[in-house]
């Protein structure tokens, strides 16, 4: 009896997906649990496996098609004697099985011999290598395949760095960079001195490789969802941003004193994220409406602290969540954030990693941003933006001194958070970061 392969239910917030790539083709024999197709959703990428062994009889949606949860992707039939014979008929017979037939159809001496000889190279080209069966499928993420297609990179020649040798997007980009490095590029000949002045400018651009070109690229599901949610956030929330600056001298001194011993004990560096996570939790306890959401005419004040950490991956921004962050140590926060960043780049984040969250921290400073206005991550009503640290002159006890300063920005939903409340929240974060010892009392 045929079995349907359907789009699985990944989570309540995911209702559709896109077929990134079929790993099998119609007529292929499959085993139970064998990956059949890669799907791309707005949050995670996943593989759909065969529910049973048999033959992949029909593919309902080709690569690039948008599908809904529960929709049939393909049909698998039992591999009984009848179906097995049909598959055998569809596949070209082995060279040995064609030999008697070839002998029986062997032409008489001198008749149509050139045609037979001309077909020989074709048969040789289709002959499988000795000892090899079906070619092994290349394991690569959808992002890596898209990058390889856009940059004309052969995935067979790329060494994968992911789990079980899976090719990641960064592997493709590294291969492309090596291929197009200046050392590997062919020298460009110097232009001739006798070029005619009447040569059109457009022709000169073509000769120098500077032709005006355009490229149309379909947005991934994640990128399209990011675009839609950002517009929704600005149209549904009354967003306002308040700013402050933080003297990072004390935090930098603590990190300098303990960075070596911390890394030896925990296997990860002592970064800035853990200090701000602890400071945010301390401020949220004093200003609980920034740890809430709006549901109709009600405010839902949350007494737990699931802090989202925005991570900029190559496929788009994701916000994995630190569950019960108030119960985590500095080391646990740094280890988890590091694991999130790696999983985001590899495309291995699970849905549970990015669901929920009561407040978000985003750090544009890692990219060099001096100041920005972060956008809310609905249904949350607060997001803290961190920025790059710069040495600036500041007044301390009546004297001008040079200190490492960071601008911070708090965007909040003015529907339930008042301006004074938001300003005091950001001031409290500033106080806790500038006095790291106070974090131990929170």
Q: Kind and range of the H or E element at 89?
A: helix 81-90
Say which residue the tokens 């032409």 belong to. 107
Which domains are seen in the chain, by residue range? Answer: 3-82 (2.40.50.100), 142-179 (4.10.320.10), 240-439 (3.30.559.10)
CA 437 to CA 426: how far, in whole Å?
18
3-state SS assignment for residue 219: coil
DSSP letters spanning 380-421: -SEEEEE--EEEEEEEETTEEEEEEEEEEEEEEETTTS-HHH
pLDDT digits (tens, 9 = 90+) for 246-291: 999 999 999 999 999 999 999 999 999 999 999 999 999 999 999 9
Note whether 252 and 404 are within 8 A (CB): yes
- CA-nearest of 389, 400, 360 to 246 is 389
Q: Are strands 359-363 and 382-386 parallel, antiparallel or unpaired?
A: parallel
Q: Residue 112 has what pLDDT? A: 47
3-state SS assignment for residue 109: coil
Say which residue the tokens 């995935």 belong to. 155
pTM above 0.75, yes or no: no
Q: Are strands 321-322 and 45-49 parallel, antiparallel or unpaired?
A: unpaired
pLDDT digits (tens, 9 = 90+) for 295-329: 999 999 999 999 999 998 777 788 999 999 999 99
Residue 103 sits at φ, ψ, to 5 deg, of -65, -40
Say which residue the tokens 């950002």 belong to. 230
Digitized pLDDT (tens) for each residue of the chain, 442 residues in all? 788 888 887 765 677 788 888 888 888 888 888 888 888 776 677 788 888 888 888 888 888 888 888 888 888 888 764 444 444 444 444 444 444 444 444 444 444 444 444 444 444 444 444 444 444 567 777 777 777 777 778 888 888 877 667 787 778 877 877 766 555 444 445 444 444 444 444 445 555 556 788 888 888 777 777 788 888 888 889 999 999 999 999 999 999 999 999 999 999 999 999 999 999 999 999 999 999 999 999 999 999 999 999 998 777 788 999 999 999 999 999 999 999 998 888 878 888 888 889 999 999 999 999 999 999 999 999 999 999 999 999 999 999 999 999 999 999 999 999 999 999 999 999 999 999 988 877 6
Q: Residue 100 has what pLDDT? A: 46
- 16-22: strand order across its sheet: 45-49, 35-40, 16-22, 66-68
CA 76 to CA 388: how far, in whole Å?
54
- For 294-339, what is the HEC assignment? EECCEEEECCCCCEEECEEECCEEECCEECCHHHCCHHHHHHHHHH
* Catalytic residue IDs: 414, 418
Q: Kind and range of the H or E element at 54?
A: strand 54-59
DSSP state of 79: -
Q: Residue 210 has what pLDDT? A: 61
Q: Which residues pair with 301 in a beta bridge?
A: 292
DSSP state of 39: E
Note whether 44 and 25 are within 8 A (CB): no
pLDDT digits (tens, 9 = 90+) for 17-48: 888 888 888 888 888 888 888 887 766 777 88
- CA-nearest of 339, 304, 310 to 323 is 304
């Amino acid at each position: 009896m045929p079995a349907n392969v359907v789009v699985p239910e990944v989570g309540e917030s995911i209702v559709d997906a896109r077929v990134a790539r079929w790993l099998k083709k119609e007529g292929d024999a499959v085993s139970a649990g064998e990956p059949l197709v890669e799907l791309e959703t707005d949050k995670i990428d996943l593989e759909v496996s065969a529910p049973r062994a048999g033959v992949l009889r029909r593919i309902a949606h080709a690569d690039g098609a948008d599908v809904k949860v529960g929709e049939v992707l393909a049909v698998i039939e039992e591999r009984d004697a009848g179906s097995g014979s049909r598959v055998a008929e569809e596949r070209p017979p082995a060279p040995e099985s064609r030999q008697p037939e070839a002998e029986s159809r062997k032409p008489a001496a001198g008749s149509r011999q050139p045609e037979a000889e001309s077909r020989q190279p074709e048969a040789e080209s289709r002959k499988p290598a000795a000892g090899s069966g079906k070619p092994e499928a290349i394991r690569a993420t959808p992002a890596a395949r898209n990058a390889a297609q856009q940059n004309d990179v052969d995935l067979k020649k790329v060494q994968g760095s992911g789990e079980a040798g899976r090719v990641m997007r960064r592997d493709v980009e590294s291969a492309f960079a090596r291929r197009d490095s200046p050392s590997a590029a062919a020298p460009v000949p110097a232009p001739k001195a006798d070029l005619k002045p009447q040569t059109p400018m457009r022709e000169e651009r073509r000769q120098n490789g500077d032709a005006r070109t355009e490229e149309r690229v379909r947005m991934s599901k994640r990128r399209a969802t990011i675009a839609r949610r950002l517009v929704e956030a600005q149209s549904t929330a009354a967003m306002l941003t308040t700013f402050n600056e933080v003297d990072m001298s004390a935090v930098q001194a603590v990190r300098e004193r303990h960075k070596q011993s911390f890394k030896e004990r925990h296997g990860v560096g002592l970064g800035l994220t853990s200090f701000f996570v602890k400071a945010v939790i301390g401020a949220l306890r004093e200003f609980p409406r920034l740890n809430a959401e709006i549901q109709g005419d009600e405010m839902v004040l949350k007494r737990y602290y699931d802090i989202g950490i925005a991570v900029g991956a190559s496929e788009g921004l994701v916000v994995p969540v630190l569950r019960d962050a108030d119960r985590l140590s500095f080391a646990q926060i740094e280890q988890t954030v590091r694991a999130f960043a790696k999983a985001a780049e590899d495309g291995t984040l699970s849905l549970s990693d990015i669901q929920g969250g009561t407040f978000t921290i985003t750090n544009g400073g890692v990219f060099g941003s001096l100041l920005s206005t972060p956008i809310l991550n609905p249904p949350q009503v607060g997001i803290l933006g961190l920025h790059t640290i710069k040495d600036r002159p500041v007044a301390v006890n009546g004297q001008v001194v040079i200190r490492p300063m960071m601008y911070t920005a708090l965007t909040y939903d003015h529907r339930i958070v008042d301006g004074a409340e938001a300003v005091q929240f950001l001031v409290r974060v500033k106080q806790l970061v500038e006095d790291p010892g106070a974090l131990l009392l929170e």
